[in-house]
Amino acid sequence: MHILYYITGHGYGHGVRSTVIANALPSNVDVTFRTSLPESFFMDEMRRDFSWYEGTFDCGCVQVDGVTVNVEQTLASYRRIADRNRTLIDREVEWCLKQRVTCILGDITPFAFDVADKARLPSIALSNFTWYDIYREYLADGDGFKPYLDEIAAQYNKADLFLSMFPANPMEYIKKKKNVSLIGRKGTLVREQIAKRYGFNEKKKIALIYIGCYGLNNVSWERLGRLSDWEFLSLYDVANRPSNFHVVNKKWFRYEDLMASADIVISKPGYGVVSECFLNGTPFFYIHRMNFAEYPVLKAAIDAWGGGYQISEKELSSCEWIDRLNSIIRREKPCPVETDGVEVCVKEILSI
């Protein structure tokens, strides 16, 4: 079996959960990724052999920062890519057949299912939402975009199965759908090693900050220096960072281990961080997210879980939330959520 896995390049969350699934496949299944995400990302995440070929077949959302979408540019960009995809499909199908692909997976590139359909290959979509969900919220701002939206829905319905990951949008337009539980990574406690690496007392409290690769540049990060009993970790550097703010090299610590070791996470509410806070039982502050159809469903799941605390972008920017940190971690920590989502996905892929 040779799987070709199309993954949107919109942030790393789609790539993370796709690699979790790919790592769980039997070693005799060949896996090739087709995506604009960098090969270095897969080298960090994959625990088995794989192939990678660069390709951009959707654009997700064009973001101004970690939580703000430029709607006009998003729709214009998708139009250009969709128009180009129509000219590429014969060449892409020929390439797939040359690679001896036997199954196509997609998270959640619509074009993947056009390729599978034309190549007469079985295909599975895997996601908690689609670009149809996102773009239809923007339709009032997208003059002439309706035909593209209809095409996206039709492309997703060319998949033989849609594996809908909890917590998922309703996606009522999908005809062949199966619900699966959480997909994500469960980490190992490495607090002692983190403290040793960054030279602080391991009894100090740890907050993991993840705003995503798009960043937020207007936050008063220097205010974190007022909290002498806290240390802050991030994968990305920020302006005016205080001495208790540490930029983590992923060669030293895996992200899921940081998540498991943190007392709290501060993040935007994407699927990846939500699922992994659930799986590791780590409470988190999350930013209210405007104009993104995934947000209400994620927020409902967070509220039901009980370990999430919403803050506004203004509160984030001013770092007003730091005054609430100590009171929140005195509360009982949420229990990790159990899941068989990866196992179910692997079973469905192998039986397609």
Q: Which has more pLDDT, 293 or 53?
A: 53
- How far is 115 from 112, CA to CA, in rounded Å? 5
Name the least confident of 123-127, 153-157, 257-261, 269-273: 269-273
- How far is 148 from 161, CA to CA, in rounded Å? 22
Tracing tokens 């409470």 back to the chain, one arrives at 283
Q: Among 138, 143, 134, which residue's Cα sits nearest to residue 110?
A: 134
pLDDT given at position 65: 73
The two tokens of residue 215 are: 């960043």
Residues 143-201 have pLDDT tens digits of 789 999 999 999 999 999 999 999 999 999 999 999 999 999 999 999 999 999 999 99
Residue 304, pLDDT > 60, answer yes
Pairing state of beta strands 245-247 and 51-54?
unpaired
Q: What is the DSSP letter of 69?
A: B
Q: Which has more pLDDT, 188 or 316?
A: 188
Residues 197-233 have pLDDT tens digits of 999 999 999 999 987 654 566 789 999 999 999 999 9
| H-helix segments, the chain | 13-23, 39-45, 71-98, 111-119, 131-136, 146-156, 191-198, 255-261, 271-280, 295-305, 313-318, 325-329, 341-351
Q: Among 228, 183, 189, which residue's Cα sits nearest to residue 345?
A: 183
- How far is 289 from 299, CA to CA, in rounded Å? 10
- How far is 50 from 32, CA to CA, in rounded Å? 6
How many Cα atoms are found within 13 Å in the side-chain-facing hemisphere of 177?
18
Q: Among 324, 184, 275, 238, which residue's Cα sits nearest to residue 66?
A: 238
**CATH number for the 2-182+341-351 domain, one of 3.40.50.2300, 3.40.50.620, 3.30.110.30, 3.40.50.2000?**
3.40.50.2000
Cis peptide before 108 (omega within 30 of 0): yes
The two tokens of residue 29 are: 């299944």
Q: Which CATH architecture has domain 191-329?
A: 3-Layer(aba) Sandwich (3.40)
- How far is 336 from 348, CA to CA, in rounded Å? 25
Residues 49-100 have pLDDT tens digits of 999 999 999 999 998 776 788 999 999 999 999 999 999 999 999 999 999 9
Tracing tokens 């509360």 back to the chain, one arrives at 331
Label residue 11 by pLDDT band (50, 70, 90).
confident
CATH 3.40.50.2000 boundaries in the chain: 2-182+341-351, 191-329
Q: In this structure, how many other beta carbons lie within 10 angstroms of the beta carbon of residue 343?
A: 13
